[in-house]
Structure formats: C-alpha cells, structure tokens
Amino acid sequence: MPMKKTLGLALAFALGTTALQAADLRIGLQEDPDVLDPDQSRTFVGRIVYASLCDKLVDITPGLEIIPQLATGWEWSDDGLELTMTLREDASFHDGTPFNADAVVANIDRSQNLPESRRKSEVKSITGVEAVDEFTVKFTLGAPDATLIAQFADRSGMMLSPTATAAAGTDFGLNPVCSGPFSFVERVAQDRIVLEKFDDYWNADAINFDTVTFLPIPDTTVRLANLRAGDLDMLERLAATDAPSVKNDSGLSYAEAVSLGYQGITINVANGAGADNPLGQDARIRKALSLAIDRNVINQVVFEGAFAPGNQSFPPTSPWYNANFPLPERDVEAAKALLAEAGFADGIELEIQVANNPVQMQLMQVVQAMAGEAGIQIELVAKEFATLLRDQSAGDYTASQIGWSGRVDPDGNIHQFMTTGGGINDSGYSNPEVDRLLDAARTSTDLATRKANYDAARAILEEDLPIIYLYHVTWIWAMDQDIKGFTPYPDGMIRLEGVTKG
C-alpha cells in the first residue's frame, strides 16, 4: 500500500511538472535586442519582444490590413488633418496606471520630444494631440499623412506607462512598463529576457503561457540544436539551408512568410569622421561595389534560392518597386572602370562591419570574394549586433551590413533612412530633392502620386547609393511539434494570442 501511494505521488508530481513546463515558452532569437524602450530602440528582435510586452494603438492582419488593438476605432476629417481615435476602456498598464486618452497624449509627446527618441520622424506630422474625453483622443496634423495609421501599428503606436516613463526617463528600458499580454521580469544581457503573463490584460483568455523567455543565440546551428534538444520551443530566422531538414523532422514544425523589408550594405557618407574615406566620399566607388556583386548568386549560394534578390528598399514583387531600375547584372569590368575613373586603377581597400552570426558572415564572405575580383579588397569586422548598431549610430564605421524588417506602408522602408536628420539615417545622407520627394509621398493619399514620388527619389538614390541593397528575406520559423496555433506574419513578429503548447 505505501508503495502504491508513493507511485501515485510520483505520477502526480510528474504530471504537475509537465503542466508547469507547458505554461512556459522559450524562444530563440538571432540577436540580443538593444534597449527595451520603443522610443529609443531599433532592433528587429526588440520588436519581437515588444509583440509580447507592448500593445499598440493598432495592429495588422497576416494580409496587412490595419485592425484595432488599443484603439477600437478611428476616423479622419474630410481634409485629412484630424484623426480621432476611440480607445479600449478595459486596458491598463502593467504598473496599474490606467490606459486612456491622457496616456496617449503623454506617449506622443515623449516620442516627439525625448532627445533620444528615434520615432520623431515617424510622428512629425502630428502638431497637436488632445484628450477629447477619457477614451477619445484627437490628433491634429500639419499636413495630410498617409503613413500615420501604419506608424501606429509599430513602435510609434506602442503605449508606455506615463508613470514609469516620467520616473525613469531615458532609463525606462531597464524596466519597461507597457500594456501587453506579458510584463517584464528580468533581463540578463546576451543571455535572456523573461516576461510573465499579465493577469489584467484585456485579452488574457487568449494567452496560454505563464512566462515567455527570449534567448539570444546568434549561431543558427546552435539555435536549431537547442530546439531539437528541447531547450527551446521555437526559434526565429531558421537558416534557409536548414529548412529541408526541419520540414523532414517529425518532431518539428515549420512556418514561413515573405518579409516586407530588405538586407543591404549601409555606407557612411556624412555621419562624422567615419565618412572621411573614398567609399563614403565618391559615389563611383559605391557603384563599383554594387556592380561587383551578383545578387542572384548570393541568393543561391547563401540561401539556397529561398530569398529574393533585391536592389531597392521595396522587393520586386511590391507595387512600389521602380521597374525602371531592374536588378543589375554583375559587371566586373564596369566596376574596374569606375574604380580607375575614381583614381583607384590598382584597386582599393575598405572595411565593412557585419553581425557575428554565421549567416551574415557567410553572406559577406561571398560579397568579399566577388568584390575582390573587381579590385575591391574588403576587410570584414565581425561585431555583436548591439555593438554594430551603436557604432553605426555614432558614425564609427565605414560601411555596415545591416537590414530592415520592413513596414506595412512604403514610407517606413525609406523615409527615416534617406531624409536629412531621419531617425535611422546612419549614413548621414542628405539631399534636399530626396527630402522633398519623400515628404510629398507622405502627404498624398493618392497612390499614383505617391508612386511617382518614390520613383523619382529612386532615380536619385541609384546615383548616390547611400545603401547598396542585396536581397529580401523570407521569415522562417521552426518550432516543436507541440506548439499549435502559431500564425506567420509578413512583419516577422511572434504573436502569442491563441498559441498553445502540448
């Protein structure tokens, strides 16, 4: 009899342990995010964390429709200069601060006026924000802005506790307080970010995990090995070369979605002393580098054809792509001629920084070999991703292999990178005509007019080349077969509503 009791206790303990484990989710990230402050941050993996931590005014569907989140509805004035939003009445921040119109006013003020804010260019069309009543907010614009609602579907629309931001200032990211399905527990740099379920979340019934832990593992092979060993439940950005093995693994599941963004080489043309070199000062050398690269070969060699070669901020499948500038063919002789014209007939040496993960390193090693054949000798400097971003922002670089995850509205892929003083214009590029064209594209609601402005800007950027675009990724996720209900989105985010384990 005692033995049976012992066995019964052991079984109950085992079942309890299994249930506990099923309530915890572990997600492998390709990098460690930068600061966890939506106004200051810029990393793709940071946005993945925010999808669980920080609700936005609006969200998107997998088909890229804008849908309510913290805002339940909205309407524009006839002249496009006023946007009125109604807000959820059942939401609150993780510290108990109520979510209401006053909170929205405080958030927009912070995005516009915090000196360190990277959101300024995204919300600069807003000239006033008014709490009409407790759950109605009105935005007044200086000019029509066709991009604003889409901006609110990302970091510009993430709502932070005004109580916490007022108390923490620029240190908010050390203990972020938002209104999403999970609240912040701890962060150990380069090791883990831990969140726990927020019981007062307005949609808590759709959340099936007690905790979610994000684990930065830059090595794609190690990340997949951890998944197969059971140390991860899910990973983002499976290497394209590993896709066949995951699809054939009965213990794993696979999901993918074509992205909205791009990968390329950002060149420092005017961001401090780092731009003082031939690559930064002479567009002919930048053109030579671009001509030395075979984008189709990169896609086949590095990504086994899973991605799309690219030469613009929009993929060739996008309606915003400028067909007047098709994907260039590799032309080594033309590249050499441009180098000679620029005074470097015997070749040139340059430095490019790259994130220290195997995929990006392999990509740049292929670029390095191709460029070498044209007389461009590239020294690769591998850096941890947050360090790479810090140096890039500070202008402490010559060129940087980096990408952008993409936005629903085309403005999000180009304006803040290419306009004078743009929030993520790390190249320091400035051209008044490009500023005029991209600002005009923002203010028009006519699609043909917007397209004409983007096309005209592309014609200038093809000559100036502050960014050399290389390819457009397909987001690929791998997960344990017990993970159910996950929906892939083109923005690459991991939304956990309705996701279960076991």
Q: What is the pLDDT of residues 138-163, one digit of tens each?
A: 999 999 999 999 999 999 999 999 99
β-strands 234-236, 24-29: how paired?
Answer: parallel
Phi-psi region of 492 (alpha: psi -120 to 50; beta: other; left: phi over 0): left
- pLDDT confidence of residue 31: 95
8: Cβ contacts below 8 Å, ≥ 6 apart = none
Fold match between domain 23-34+180-259+475-501 and domain 262-472: no
Stretch 260-287: mean pLDDT: 97
Confidence of residue 327 (pLDDT cuts 50, 70, 90): very high
Q: Is the pLDDT of residue 485 over 70?
A: yes
The residues spanned by each domain of the chain are 23-34+180-259+475-501, 55-163, 262-472
- pLDDT confidence of residue 8: 37
The three-state secondary structure class of 142 is coil
Stretch 382-410: mean pLDDT: 95
Stretch 76-97: mean pLDDT: 97
Stretch 191-208: mean pLDDT: 98
What pLDDT digit, counting tens, does each position of 232-256 carry?
999 999 999 999 999 999 999 999 9
Q: Is the pLDDT of residue 346 over 60?
A: yes
- pLDDT confidence of residue 258: 86
User: pTM of the entire structure?
Assistant: 0.81
- pLDDT confidence of residue 445: 81
Q: Domain 55-163 belongs to what topology?
A: Dipeptide-binding Protein; domain 1 (3.90.76)
- pLDDT confidence of residue 131: 98
392-419 residues labelled b (16+ CB within 10 A) or e (exposed): beebebbbbbbbbbbbbbbbbbbbbbbb
Confidence of residue 17 (pLDDT cuts 50, 70, 90): very low
Choosing among 3.90.1150.10, 3.50.30.50, 3.40.190.10, 3.90.420.10, the CATH entry for 23-34+180-259+475-501 is: 3.40.190.10
> Across the chain, what does the average pLDDT equal?
94
Stretch 317-335: mean pLDDT: 95
Residue % of the chain over a pLDDT of 90: 91
Instruction: Domain 262-472: give its CATH architecture.
Output: Roll (3.10)
- pLDDT confidence of residue 444: 87
Q: Give the Cα-Cα-Cα angle 213, 215, 216 (nearest 5 degrees).
A: 150
Please measure the distance between the N-terminal and C-terminal CA atoms of the chain and give it in whole angstroms: 33
Stretch 364-373: mean pLDDT: 98
Confidence of residue 100 (pLDDT cuts 50, 70, 90): very high
Confidence of residue 317 (pLDDT cuts 50, 70, 90): confident
* Ramachandran angles phi, psi of 135, nearest 5°: -125, 30
- pLDDT confidence of residue 170: 97
40: Cβ contacts below 8 Å, ≥ 6 apart = 34, 114, 116, 117, 118, 170, 173
**Axis crossing angle, helix 295-303 with helix 358-373, rounded to the nearest 10:** 140
Residue % of the chain over a pLDDT of 70: 96
C-beta of residue 278 within 8 angstroms of C-beta of residue 377: no
